[in-house]
Amino acid sequence: MTVISATDLVKRYGEVAAVDGVSFEVAPGESFGLLGPNGAGKSTTMRMVGAVSTRTAGELTVLGLDPDEFGPEIRARLGVVPQQDNLDNELRVRENLLTYGRYFGLPRRLIAERADELLEFAQLADRGDAKVDELSGGMKRRLTIARALINEPRILLLDEPTTGLDPQARHILWDRLFRLKEQGTTLLLTTHYMDEAEQLCDRLVVVDHGRIMAEGSPAALIRQYSTREVLEVRFGSERNAAAAAALADVGDRLEVLPDRVLVYADDGEAALVEVTARGLQPLTSLVRRSSLEDVFLRLTGRSLIE
């Protein structure tokens, strides 16, 4: 049983293929991520799954239905957190939840109960009568998530849920999303933060230019496409390239970035010893564990955040 199933999904805008043959499946209760840089086609994919954009080609079913045909039925069972908040500025915080519930045709009493619970959940219980414009960015984001939950959706679509938030606000949001996941809500989220993907996703696909580059759990992807550790060394921007030439056979693989050289090795400290043994003196050095950023770099030759 899958709740979302996409096969060779394509969305073209004129000549541009925003999504160019994407296939994936999401199981009930799973938390699935789309990871990719700007313009990869993440939001476009989300909009098709959310039944607000028709596909150009390919197959797509959401909760067993075709979104091109059963838009309202599917949307009734989805919660959507768009990339940019679209709260209703003419209404107050609690009213935003109440009216949104009405859009789903739910009875007033039920919505009123849920609104109070959701304000609690979003830690906005004391801001119910505030104007939307008076909320901070993090509060708005939490309200958008609360609003998306008013119809108790089977699937929650989150498009970059924490972009633009400070670390504390992000951790609060992650905590809320984690609780939803524990309650069995299926999450489909996009992000270009590796740590977010590692925190929240059971499984993810790395997308670039509308295509899937790799698929798997965060740990499996790191295992498959990277080494256990990474040594980052800086020689100064003019000398990085020359130093890299001398290090070609250290570790499993090298990646030369404008400001640093990455040495992929299972034992980073040993690699550093090898570097100094060759008479090279890095200005700074750092050994860290591999992350999805490294997976992305390996797959595309580019870093995830430009």
Binding residues for another protein (CB under 8 A): 50, 52-57, 68-73, 75-76, 78, 80, 82, 84, 86-91, 95, 99-100, 102-105, 151
Task: Indicate which of ligand ATP, Mg ion, another protein, none lies near residue 36 (CB less than 5 to 8 Å, by partner kind).
Answer: ligand ATP
- 144 or 240: CB nearest ligand ATP: 144
For ligand ATP, the binding residues in 66-95 under the rule CB under 6 A are 83
Chosen residue from 31, 44, 61, 240 binding ligand ATP by CB under 6 A? 44
Which listed option, another protein, ligand ATP, Mg ion, none, makes contact with residue 39 (CB within 5 to 8 Å by class)? ligand ATP
Choose between 130 and 299: whose C-beta lies nearer to ligand ATP.
299
Mark 30-62 as b/e (b = at least 16 C-beta within 10 Å).
Answer: bbbbbbbbeebbbbbbbbbbbbebebeebebbb
The binder of 38, among ligand ATP, another protein, Mg ion, none, by C-beta within 5 to 8 A per type, is ligand ATP
The nearer residue to another protein, 6 or 261, going by C-beta atoms, is 6
Of 50, 41, 61, the C-alpha closest to 213 is 41
Contact between 41 and ligand ATP per CB under 6 A: yes
Query: Taking the complex as a whole, how short is the minimal distance between the CB of residue 157 and another protein, in angstroms?
Result: 9
Helix ranges, 17-107 (H): 42-49, 71-75, 93-103
Residue 80 or 194: the one with the smaller Cβ distance to another protein is: 80
Half-sphere exposure of 255 (CA within 13 A, CB side): 21
**Residue 136 partner contact from another protein, ligand ATP, Mg ion, none using kind-dependent CB cut-offs of 5 to 8 Å:** none
CA distance 74 to 155: 10
Q: Do the bridges between strand 186-191 and strand 31-35 make them parallel or antiparallel, or are there none, so unpaired?
A: parallel
93-103 and 137-148 helices cross at what angle (nearest 10)? 30
Give residue 73's identity as a one-letter amino acid code.
E
- If the CB atoms of residues 43 and 290 are measured against Mg ion, the closer one turns out to be 43
Nearer to Mg ion, 42 or 147 (CB): 42
Shortest distance, position 175 Cβ to another protein, whole Å: 24
- Smaller CB separation from ligand ATP, 56 or 123: 56
The partner residues of 166 in beta bridges, in order of sequence, read none
User: Do 215 and 204 touch, CB atoms closer than 8 A?
Assistant: yes
Q: What are phi and psi of 67, to 5 degrees?
A: -65, -25
Pick from 214, 232, 231: nearest CA to 223: 214
Residue from 18, 22, 93, 97 that binds ligand ATP (CB under 6 A)?
18
Report in angstroms the alpha-carbon separations of 43 from 39, 49, 92: 9, 10, 28
Please identify, using beta-carbon distances, which residue of 17 and 243 lies nearer to ligand ATP: 17
Per CB under 6 A, the segment of 32-40, 130-138, 242-250, 273-281 that binds ligand ATP is 32-40
Strand bridging mode 4-13 / 57-62: antiparallel
Residue nearest to Mg ion (CB): 43
Q: Is 42 in the site for ligand ATP (CB under 6 A)?
A: yes
SS3 155: strand
Site residues (vs ligand ATP, CB under 6 A): 13, 16, 18, 36, 38-44, 83, 192
